[in-house]
Structure 1
């Protein structure tokens, strides 16, 4: 092969890449997307976490400490509780991740007894976040203690008591089991259904379906049913392993948890059918389902990294990731033991996504061979 012929082959390949917009996007766009997502989402630092304060003392000392906690970049005080009875509902509704409790007479005990106590109650369904938040809060409290002790012969001492709700032993399985459920169901269901319709096109069996009197809706649904049944087996196996092998309890309603898992499975199947209807080859469908679903599911669902730590654009994008809503539901029902009343919004989001994706899938299903 001569030099000119070799260069012509190189030119030909460049022209081919430049004409193929999908390939060009993958080559140039994917690295940019990955570095942005990894750069902003890949952090173990916890910032702007929603907390509540139960101040039963209401004196200058508690006001100063509350102000310092709120001024810290790690916390955002979103509620001031009036009684201890409001602590449980605040956690179950997912409004806060930690509650700071000042007992009656906090300031008086500090001034006259040189000793006072504060309680930190954290949501330990995510043990890493709970540990981090209590450590940050304790650092703020100790910093306040050091400042007020300057020049005092008999220093003040503030004792911090910790209480971890839902997961007192701080087992990591309580956090990763809901995340693994979301990731496994999303990837398997989406990937397997993504190649179904496009496989019929490649094998030439689409013609048989096109001449049949079956409506497109029934064909699409028929494609999803076997994978729905297989996903139910996956749900059962994950729950059994979680309870009997990993000792993760199901504190809420088992029927509700199963129903929510089936709804999420339908969402994933609908997404897979949309990919299958919109692509022309199994390789493309599999690539989109793996690459397009794996990164958002892992990075933007809240499973690996807290969503509230991310920049606003990524927080907005995370709202269209189905796994985020399912992860919230599983943690709430399985770990916190809440009922449907606490997760109806997330359920409605998943139901809306399922209906929308299924509708688009049917519209993209071509009656004639392209």
Structure 2
């Protein structure tokens, strides 16, 4: 046991002496959760729009005020004709144009109907669709207020209710994904170079002639990064709750347990890479391309897995971040317990044992 503790202490000394590594381990997760937490969002705010008001009556002025008062739109231009619309789009000054035809209020009063045309820049279809949905919701809300005491024939009204995220904040979706990405990147990348570093520095011979078994050597390499990862998990959760305002609706103990389980899986994968490579550059490249890109593309937090072709949906099952992302959403956002995530927990546990067994098996006790 004393030998094992000595190996762990030695690894801590290596980390403490390398200031850049220490910064990556403790500083980068904080920076990434802040940058990605605020930058990665599906909300569209303060979009510049133009108004072409050919009626200029109290109703159109009221709708204009509704649009301008929302946090989604910023009216920056008043158009005088249809010919100015395309020019405004070509110059990149606006994302959408709202057109009120002539006699808008008159048609609304006499025929109980009036038209509003929304012209959006569909070079980015997601943004265009989001903006038109925002504007349509504002217009329908105004319509509900002015027709509150009127009886319209054959009116169908849809009532919506958003569970778990009533304000539709993008952080609720991206924080679990960023947690998976940060832990995967830091844990896998840093542990991938641990054993390789010993080979390059020529200290592997000393470790091999020690009475320590390969299993204990591999575990001793992972323990310091596990403890530092627990610090990262704590900082990420604190930033998520107090800075990004994403509450922990479920059990904090369960969330920490699942985070540690995912961290151990990442550490095991990093150790496997380190046992199969002979240079730190190769280990870093494999860690980045082998897990970072799949975490972004195939975990489900950037792109829905259901929309992917069948081969990619099958391939996503071997990405640990996919299961951890699901677990965090269920526990942290929905407030569910272990009964809702026990299958995903077993999958991560199986991945951990498989990767750890491969790491120990591939650990070479001879350099030549």
- State the TM-score bracket (shorter-chain normalisation): 0.5 to 0.7
| Equivalent position of 1:294 in the other structure | 292
Where do residues 77-156 of structure 1 align in structure 2 (5 Å cutoff)?
Answer: 156=154
- Superimposed CA distance per residue, residues 76-119 of structure 1 (whole angstroms, 9 cap, x where no aligned partner): xxxxxxxxxxxxxxxxxxxxxxxxxxxxxxxxxxxxxxxxxxxx
1:308 corresponding residue in structure 2:
306
2:244 to 221, 243, 246: 246
> Does residue 217 of the first structure (1) align with residue 226 of the second (2)?
no
Q: Deviations over 1:54-79 (max 9, x none)?
A: xxxxxxxxxxxxxxxxxxxxxxxxxx
Equivalent position of 2:148 in the other structure = none
What's the counterpart of residue 202 of structure 1? 200
1:1-370 paired onto structure 2 within 5 Å: 156-370=154-368
Measure, in 2, the Cα distance between the counterparts of 1:158 and 1:284. 62
Aligned residue pair count: 223
Q: For the residues of structure 2 that align with 1:366 and 1:288, how far apart are their CA atoms?
A: 19
Q: Which has the higher strand share?
A: 1
Q: Secondary structure, in 3 states, of the residue corresponding to 2:278?
A: coil
Could you tell me how far apart the structure 2 residues matched to 1:268 and 1:191 are? 9
Per-residue CA deviations over 1:293-335 (Å, capped at 9, x if unaligned) read: 1110000000101000000000000000000000000000000
User: Equivalents in 2 of 1:208, 1:361: separation in Å?
Assistant: 20
Partners of 1:246 and 1:293 lie apart in 2 by 26
How many angstroms does 1:264 deviate by?
0.1
Counterpart residue number, 2:86: none
Question: What is the DSSP-based 3-state SS (H/G/I as helix, E as strand, rest coil) of the residue aligned with 1:161?
Answer: coil
Q: Which runs of 5+ in 1 are unaligned?
A: 1-43, 45-127, 139-153
Aligned to 2:157, the other structure's residue is in SS state strand
Q: Distance in 2 between matches of 1:315 and 1:294?
A: 17
Give the whole-Å Cα distance in 2 for the aligned partners of 1:186 and 1:239: 16
* Dislocated runs of 4+, deviation >6 Å: none
Q: Give the Cα–Cα distance (whole angstroms) in 2 for the partners of residues 155 and 305 of structure 1.
A: 42
* Inter-partner Cα distance in structure 1 for 2:153 and 2:282: 68
Structure 2: distance between partners of 1:309 and 1:209: 49
Deviation readout 1:261-317 (Å, 9 max, x if unpaired): 000000000000000000111000000101221110000000101000000000000
Q: CA deviation at 1:155?
A: 5.7
Q: In 2, Cα distance between the equivalents of 1:243 and 1:210?
A: 45
Alpha-carbon distance between aligned partners in 1 of 2:243 and 2:192, rounded to the nearest angstrom: 32
- Note the C-alpha offset of 1:157: 2.5
Q: TM-score, normalised by structure 2?
A: 0.59
Which protein has the larger Cα radius of gyration, Structure 1 or Structure 2? 2
Unmatched segments (≥5 aa) in structure 2: 1-41, 43-125, 137-151
